[in-house]
Each structure stands twice: as C-alpha cells, then as structure tokens.
Amino acid sequence: MTGPNAEAVGSVAAEHLGPLLYALEVCAVSMDDAGRPEDATYYRALASRLAEAGGTPPRAGPAG
C-alpha cells in the first residue's frame, strides 16, 4: 500500500488554502471554548505550516 499522492494533495490544498485555514481556526476556537488549549495549539500550528507552505514558490525542475 502506498501513501497519499503528495502532489495531488498539495494541489488541492493550494486551490482551497483560504477556506482550509479558516476551518482550522474555527477548530482551534472550538477547542479553546471546550477548555482544550493543547488541541487549539495543534490546529493553529497546522494552519501556520499550511500558510507558510502556501507562500513558498514552486521548486525549479531539473535543468535540461
């Protein structure tokens, strides 16, 4: 069994980055409201990583 297709996952995430970041923040707020700050921190860190990755230019392919 193989893992997820990273290129396809990245493409979908890039196309829907704004709504994904919003949904992750909604999850984090919900976790805060439920008294689960560690879980809120997790969702915010995940959103931060996605946001940083979304601002990364694509890697250049091999020369030639």
- In whole angstroms, give the CA distance from residue 31 to residue 39: 6
**pLDDT tens digits, 9-64:** 888 888 999 999 999 999 999 999 999 999 999 999 999 999 988 866 556 556 54
- In whole angstroms, give the CA distance from residue 50 to residue 56: 10
Whether the CB-CB separation of 34 and 56 falls below 8 Å is answered with: no
- In whole angstroms, give the CA distance from residue 61 to residue 40: 37
Q: What is the pLDDT of residue 38?
A: 98
Q: What is the pLDDT of residue 2?
A: 82
* Residue 12 in tokens: 């979908």
- In whole angstroms, give the CA distance from residue 45 to residue 19: 16
Q: What is the pLDDT of residue 63?
A: 56
